[in-house]
Chains A and B, each alone.
Chain A
Amino acid sequence: AQTVTQSQPEMSVQEAETVTLSCTYDTSESDYYLFWYKQPPSRQMILVIRQEAYKQQNATENRFSVNFQKAAKSFSLKISDSQLGDAAMYFCAYRSKNNDMRFGAGTRLTVKP
């Protein structure tokens, strides 16, 4: 079964600085999708960024980018120019082609003013 590991339960970053959240996963599949979701204190999960495993190019969404290393099964999220509104729980997720979805345990990000 696929597993997703986020080794950093908590991270802290200074406003305007850059922070990287780590995620590794285990799978025997070659085609799958990876996601980073954000869950602010209000609890509604929001998609931050998505990566398709067959694409070698790392996904980017404004201040958010990923470092996807398929051979290493690593999928880290980089947040540049951190803002107070970035404070949230961040979940890394793996989704197989048949829609089996697995989440990591989450990383709580604190942004210091």
Chain B
Amino acid sequence: KAGVTQTPRYLIKTRGQQVTLSCSPISGHRSVSWYQQTPGQGLQFLFEYFSETQRNKGNFPGRFSGRQFSNSRSEMNVSTLELGDSALYLCASSPMGTSGRDEQFFGPGTRLTVL
């Protein structure tokens, strides 16, 4: 099976712009989670989608949003970018996600730089 893919791998934006990141989970996986990784804050949970519904949400402002499509592919959007949004954004998929036991498979990440 192909692994989790994320596009684009690198992105440069300026303050005030918006950005959309894409994640394609492993075939058959229905749960997709998003994380922000920065040197200062580490790995922080953004949100999780399951069957096109947001099931869990981390402590991020409303500028961060996401959605999931019927084929389980997910997008996250960040509006009105700030310098502090520069980070590696990781996507992870798991089969059902109905049990915390499920292993999450991570993608390579999208490196976002905000200038």
Interface, chain A (partner B; CB < 8 A): 32-33, 37, 42-47, 50, 52, 91, 95-106
Indicate if B66 sits at the interface (CB-CB under 8 A). Answer: no
Per the 8 Å Cβ criterion, residues 71-115 of B in contact with A are: 88, 90, 92, 97, 99-101, 103-109
Are the C-beta atoms of A91 and B43 separated by less than 8 Å? yes
Closest 6 CB pairs of A and B: A45-B106, A103-B43, A95-B100, A33-B100, A105-B42, A97-B100
Are the C-beta atoms of A103 and B42 separated by less than 8 Å? yes
CB distance from B46 to the nearest CB of A (A): 10
A97 and B56 CA atoms in complex are apart in Å by 12
Are the C-beta atoms of A47 and B42 separated by less than 8 Å? no
Complex: chain A residue closest to B106, CB-CB: A45
Q: Which residues of B contact A43 (CB under 8 A)?
A: 88, 108-109
The number of inter-chain residue pairs (CB within 8 angstroms) is 53
| The residue from B55, B90, B108 contacting A99, defined by CB atoms under 8 A apart | B55
A98 and B35 CA atoms in complex are apart in Å by 17
A100 and B44 CA atoms in complex are apart in Å by 11
Q: Which residues of A contact B109 (CB under 8 A)?
A: 43-44
Complex: chain A residue closest to B90, CB-CB: A45
Are the C-beta atoms of A96 and B100 separated by less than 8 Å? yes
CB distance from A45 to the nearest CB of B (A): 4
| The residue from A47, A100, A104 contacting B104, defined by CB atoms under 8 A apart | A47
Are the C-beta atoms of B42 and A33 separated by less than 8 Å? no
Are the C-beta atoms of A104 and B42 separated by less than 8 Å? yes
CB distance from A93 to the nearest CB of B (A): 8
Q: Which residues of B contact A96 (CB under 8 A)?
A: 100
CB distance from B16 to the nearest CB of A (A): 28
Q: Which residues of B contact A45 (CB under 8 A)?
A: 90, 92, 106
Complex: chain B residue closest to A53, CB-CB: B100
Given A45-B90, A104-B42, A106-B42, does the pair A99, B100 have CB atoms closer than 8 Å? yes
CB distance from A99 to the nearest CB of B (A): 6
CB distance from B114 to the nearest CB of A (A): 19
CB distance from A98 to the nearest CB of B (A): 7
